[in-house]
Structure 1
Amino acid sequence: MSQLIVVGAQWGDEGKGRIVDWASEDAELVVRYNGGHNAGHTLVVDGRTWKLALLPCGLLHGRTGAIGKGVSLDPQALLDEISRVSAQGLHITPDTLWLAEDINLVLPLHRALDVAQESLRGTPVGTTGRGIGPALEDRSGRRALRLCDLAEPDTLEERLDGLLAWHAPLARALGLPAPERAALLAQLQAWGEALLPFAAPVGERLAAAHTRGAHILYEGAQAMMLDTDHGTWPYVTGASTLPAQAAPGSGFGAAARARVLGVVKAYSSRVGNGPFPSEMHGAAGDALRERGGEYGVNTGRPRRCGWIDLALLRQTARLGALDALAVTKLDVLDDQPEISVCTGYRIGGRLHESLPPGIAAQAAAEPVYETLPGWQCDTGRSRRLEDLPMQARKYLERIEAFVGVPIALVSVGAEREALIAPQGAFDL
């Protein structure tokens, strides 16, 4: 097996960056295929902390990174991130980073529109305000600007005029300043100078690497229950977050044959609004948040926390055709005398084995719990499954049995070596 997709199996923030960081050691290429700078990772490598939003994690280990067409690219956000990591000693060049030539751009007008749209919703979705949703709307409406447009001056001006013809009246209707053509054109030209050297036929290069047997790692952003079609709609992101998106998002169809590692926290968390049946409220939820350090990497927003939702995880395992699970932050539960796991939902007196799609039904869902004994001892030094206390092993076994997917990896601490990983990443 020479291809692996790492994807979030809950609502995001499962610690995917940590798992991608581990798997990068065995990879030659690491590819971002979805999301944008509205999702990020905090990584500790050799005692140094790195905060990444767009750059593939493998760059930290000298691997080649690629950002595929499926990513929504804010040019300034990428340039700022490159500047930050360069100041830390990681130099990014066109040899180490490939940008899909036809990647779609997130512009300042998209950010303004994102904030305005969120304020108009009766119940806010909880977006980051980074402009990703409106940029995706322009992509679907065939109005978007792409990186390759910046290389063609006449095309750029024509495409920009068409974009502004749509956005100017929309801005007026929302009480926003009209986008200034001259300033935006100058900004686009400056971005072109800085980023066009990184433009590459990513799909072709991945195909060539695959042919010679290179290990390719696909780094998913966000998580499957935020998928625009199959997540807890409308409290979702604007594009697909499924592992199947790795093929169109990278431009390499054979990514559809990659094995899939789903990352799940030993508990659950969610940022923003939307259904969360197993959420813990009050002091218990606050304590779990503090113990797990559950605050957004890029936004600092506190995450809602709760017990693991096995019914939801079984849904995402089916949806994403997961081959294996990585369970992160098991150590955060070390102090719990008892641990609850959600196995279904009661809605209007009726038992449901999976979360239904209706908005009102999801909001009314009451969790059905099993209670398991906690272990109340330190798991942070465990490096083999046999090192874990019996109750922790039984907890993991219950997850496997209910979801029907084997657990291939467990993390028990923030340190890079605090992993129970009996196999190499590409041997899953």
Structure 2
Amino acid sequence: MPAVIVLGAQWGDEGKGKATDQLGTRADYVVKYNGGNNAGHTVVVDGEKFALHLLPGGILSPACTPVIGNGVVVDLKVLFEEINDLASRGVDTSRLKVSANAHIITSYTRKMDSLSETTLGDKKIGTTGRGIGPTYSDKVSRSGLRIQDLFNEVELRAKVASSLSQKNILFKAYGVDPFDPEEVADELLSYAERVRPMVIDTTLELNNGLDAGRTIVFEGGQSTMLDIDHGTYPYVTSSNPTAGGACTGTGVGPTNIQRVIGVAKAYVTRVGEGPFPTELLDESGEWLREQGHEYGVTTGRPRRCGWYDSPVVRYSSRVNGLTDIALTKLDVLGGLEEIPVCVAYEVNGERVDEVPAFAADFAAAKPIYEYRPGWSEDISGCRTFEELPQAAQDYVLYLEEVSRCRMSVIGVGPGREATIVRHDLLD
């Protein structure tokens, strides 16, 4: 099983970090292929909690090589803050590899991000304000900075000056002090020698690894419904968290991919703005938030909470070609007498069984629920499917049926060990 993609099947925060970490203990490489430090993964190892933002989950597995692919945008200050934090806790970070073609987040793209959200007013996207979107915009407009530019000072200074010649006009128009190109370049160059040993041709490294029979886990940031092409546009991220993004974000071809694992919560959460048909704005939503500790790893923002939306997961299965689902946080639902599951929508008075193609229809969609019996038992100690209460087993099997994809792994707690494996994902 040489190449496996792990991605979010809903709106993010599904527990991809735990899934990637578990697979990473058995993989040779874990590769982050999109996004930047706008996403956060929480991993619990031996009771100790690690919050990863930019670093791949494989950084916590000593035998694994963690890789930041070319599809990622890198804030160098954040990268080294995260490395320093892990190193202070005894984690070996010397194995990290970074693509020479990954783009760099700068102080001025961070400022562009915050300005953009401010000017959008009530139509704001709800970004984390970390410069991700503007950095991808520079990449697409061919005015971005790449990691390899750090090693050519003359070229770097020229590129920064060229980019700021346009952006400073905009900053002045909004009453923001212009950026000094020399100061920006000096800051970026201060990281050059420290990052240099990490920088390689990651595409060559990964393909050579596949040729040698090594196992690669591709780790997606954000999630399917936040994909720039396939998500709830414009309330989306700036990259492709979907399975195709793993190929463009690493340079590994699709014929090498053996399995695509979608991570889905036993309910749903979302951060930021945008449509969310099953969102709960009552005490049920607050109960899910508190029971599931649904607050952003990166921002601390309370997450919007709702019941499981099977049309969304079916859509994710189609778009990504899912082979398996890793269902997380099943334990959070313990104590409910019954559990609603969205099986379709009502749109303009008509039943719609799949995610509508038109954004306006999805924004107007009202959930149609079916109800499943709940359970009161504590399931956090269960390690086989048969140990689960019958109602919990039935709930999982029902989700498998309405999602049209097998539930191969079930999370019953935050720790690595709190997992039920029905089908081995690296078999």
Is the contact between residue 157 and residue 182 of structure 2 (CA under 8 Å) also seen in structure 1? no
- Structure 1: give runs of 5+ residues left out of the alignment: none
Match of residue 214 from structure 1: 214
Alpha-carbon distance in structure 1 between the residues aligned to 2:214 and 2:290:
41
Asked if residue 193 in structure 1 is aligned to residue 231 in structure 2, the reply is no
Q: CA deviation at 1:256?
A: 5.3
CA distance in 1, matches of 2:398, 2:380: 21
User: How far apart are residue 170 of structure 1 and its match?
Assistant: 1.7
SS in 2 for 1:18: helix
Q: Distance in 2 between matches of 1:189 and 1:91?
A: 25
Query: Contact (CA 8 Å) 2:407, 2:422: kept in 1 or not?
Result: no
Structure 2 unmatched runs, 5+:
none
Tell me the percent identity.
40
Specify the alignment match of 2:162 in structure 1: 162
Kindly state the Cα deviation for residue 91 of structure 1 after the two structures are TM-superposed.
3.0
What TM-score, normalized by structure 2, do the two folds share?
A: 0.97
1:25-65 C-alpha deviation (Å, 9 max, x unpaired): 21011111011000011111122221111111112111111
TM-score, normalisation: structure 1: 0.97
Query: What does residue 418 of structure 2 align with?
Result: 418
**Who is 2:98 aligned against?**
99
Q: How far apart are the structure 2 equivalents of 1:415 and 1:268?
A: 20
Cα distance, 1:156 vs. partner?
A: 1.0
CA contact (8 A) 1:345 1:367 kept: yes
1:304 corresponds to: 304
Aligned CA-pair RMSD:
1.2
Task: Output the CA distance in 2 between the equivalents of 1:49 and 1:235.
Answer: 30
Residue 81 (1) aligns with residue 82 (2): yes
Q: CA deviation at 1:160?
A: 1.4
| Alpha-carbon offset, residue 391 of structure 1 | 1.3
What amino acid does structure 2 have at the position aligned with 1:71?
V
Which residue matches 1:10? 10
Q: What secondary structure, in the 3-state scheme, does the structure 1 residue paired with 2:12 have?
A: coil
The aligned counterpart of 1:114 is: 113
Instruction: Write out aligned runs for 1:341-420 (5 A).
Output: 341-420=341-420
One-letter identity of the residue aligned with 1:55: L
Contact 1:4-1:217 at 8 Å conserved across structures: yes
How far apart in 2 are the matches of 1:53 and 1:417?
A: 22
Taking structure 1 as reference, are residues 195 and 85 closer, same or farther at Cα in structure 2, changes over 3 Å only? same
Partner of residue 56, structure 2:
56
Measure the CA separation in 2 of the matches of 1:415 and 1:103: 32
Asked if structure 1 preserves the Cα contact closer than 8 Å seen for 2:331 and 2:379, the reply is: yes
Q: 1:283 Cα shift?
A: 1.2
Q: In the aligned structure 2, how far is the partner of 1:83 from the partner of 1:380?
A: 33
Contact 1:244–1:256 (CA<8 Å) still a contact in 2? Answer: no
* 8 Å Cα contact 1:11/1:224 also seen in 2: yes
Equivalent residue for 1:282?
282
What's the secondary structure of 2:426's corresponding residue? Answer: helix
User: Is residue 119 of structure 2 the alignment partner of residue 127 of structure 1?
Assistant: no
Aligned partner of 1:90 in structure 2 is 91
> SS state of the match for residue 109, structure 1?
helix
SS at match of 1:368: strand
What one-letter code is carried by the residue in structure 1 that aligns with 2:100?
Answer: E
Distance 1:246 1:116 in 2: 30
Q: Which moved more, 1:413-422 or 1:281-290?
A: 413-422
Distance in 2 (alpha carbons) for counterparts of 1:3 and 1:101: 22
In structure 2, relative to structure 1, the CA distance for the partners of 1:256 and 1:166 (3 Å cut) is farther
